[in-house]
Amino acid sequence: MDGGGALPGPDGRLRCPWGTTAEDYAAYHDTEWGHAVHGDDALFERLCLEAFQSGLSWLTILRKRENFRAAFAGFRIAEVAAFTAQDERRLLADPGIVRNRAKITAALGNARVAAAWRPGELDRLVWSYAPDHTARPAPRTLGEVPASTPESTALSKELKKRGFRFVGPTTAYALMQACGLVNDHLADCWARPGAAAPLSAR
């Protein structure tokens, strides 16, 4: 990604530059990214996918998302927490997902941690780190969008303290961006005004 401002897409609408590079990106940018996501399972899915994205293109993850959902029981925490060693071998052999042993092991371990919590606790924990939306002006270029913030660093630290893995400050901030805790659509991006709208939890 460069540090430029919003660019027109094929429909003439101004978008964050990354949202103009592929149809998959445009759809995700327009309808999901930055919208408020609630629900333990929905947030667990996003945490897992952001962790799997580490070191890779998000487009790779986006195009494999349905495969991930099928492989990980729809990211229903209780079901993933019950996965066995046989399930782990199945995941490691699945060409439809990212077959990274450390990330797969972390996803299963994180599910077991979250499964022990009260219903809604993951949602409450994540959203308790949402910053004041008025504290930072809308970024005008990608160069003004941070890779991590004090809030994402604090969220990462708390998740790690509770036993989560693959949740560094950058991954935590990507989660915050994707799930609407922050609105990092550029100032001139047509999708920015609607980005606070909630998405129904699956």
Question: Where in the sequence numbering do the catalytic residues fall?
Answer: 28, 50, 58
Does 35 show up as a binding residue in the annotation? no
* 146-176 per-residue burial string, b: 16 or more CB within 10 A, e: under 16: eebbebbbebbebbeebebbbbbbbbbbbbb
Which residue shows structure tokens 């660093």?
A: 153
Does 179 show up as a binding residue in the annotation? no
In this structure, what DSSP letter does residue 36 have?
E
Contact 42, 127 (CB under 8 A): no
CA 16 to chain centroid, in Å, comes to 17
Beta strands in the chain (DSSP E): 7-8, 14-15, 36-37, 198-199
Please choose, from the candidates 82, 164, 76, the residue with its C-alpha nearest in 3D space to the C-alpha of residue 126.
164
Annotated binding site: 16, 29, 185, 189
